[in-house]
Amino acid sequence: MYKNIVIIILILVVITLIQINQMIEPFTNIKLAIHTVFIIDENALFLEEWINYHLDLGFDEIYLYDNTGSKGVDGSSTTINKYNINFNEINNEKYVADIKSIIEENPHVHYITWQPKDENNNIVYGYNKSINNYITKYGSNNDWTAFIDVDEYIYLNNGNLKQYIRDKGETYNKIVIKQRKYEDRYCNLDKSIRDIDSFIDVNTDGWAPKNICKNINLNEMQSKHNMHGIHMSNEKAYHSDIKELRFNHYNVNKKQVKWMHGFLKTGNKPFKIIKDTQPLPKSNRTILPKKYNKKYYEENRHKFCADIF
């Protein structure tokens, strides 16, 4: 009698587990990817944390298109980014090599050398072409793809990212996310990104959004692609509320502040700074301690870091 009761209980437990799995499965069987074009030397100090964060968030694959050697855009060069930060002087070469080895060994990271050239044989950014390369080579391996930069962290206020995207995918094939502006990563080299917890109170509606796209609707029409407006077939876009789903953009520095005053027509009126009550969650993962030229950094930090925080 007792044995039969135990068997019945076990059967009921198994049935319950199967039912729970069937309820969960629809939200967990989609594959999420990230596409980014970056330069390893510029981003090495932040790359491991950025990768780990997004894998924890629910992304399955990350495609890193390394554009090292590019002649640069918006005033940047092969060694200085568009915010006048000389990452070549800040870098520790061995640390960069170690980070590259770590990410190449990660089975969820795809490291791609991306060096398209112009008519003068200069390595160029080639962002549109990188999207088409991704669609052709890797697009069918994933269901949705976020097109973001390495100084941007996707943030979901509540719930499971895969469930959120799957729910939206019943009606839409593109999710447009807005940015929230935080202090530049390079102005906080002694901190984890997760500890940068103040942002600028500014409306970013229509200002350089990013996209999470359903792969089956991605279209290889490179003339129409740009990083803020990925081209889709039969596009149906959902524009998420910034308090719902967004990306935290860690790029506010002296040059960015000056540009924002002009773009927003605020004159020199100080920006209001708000303490974030929803900071990025902490992580139990260990990462390689940052190594960089601290003497050069301390001597030159004031040249590019804003004092508004």
pTM: 0.89
pLDDT band at 9 (very low <50, low <70, confident <90, very high): low
Which tokens in the block code for residue 223? 């003339």
- Domains of the chain from N-terminus onward: 32-304 (3.90.550)
pLDDT (average), residues 150-162: 97
pLDDT of residue 231: 86
Query: Does residue 62 contact residue 107 with C-beta atoms inside 8 Å?
Result: no
The number of CA neighbours under 13 Å toward the Cβ of 171 is 7
Beta bridge partners of 80: 86
The C-alpha angle with vertex 36 and arms to 193 and 113, in degrees rounded to 5, equals 115
pLDDT band at 36 (very low <50, low <70, confident <90, very high): very high
pLDDT of residue 13: 42
Give the integer Cα–Cα distance in Å for 52 and 273.
28
Over residues 177-202, the pLDDT tens digits come to 999 999 999 999 999 999 999 999 99
Which tokens in the block code for residue 54? 């997004």
5-14, 56-65, 170-179: least confident range: 5-14
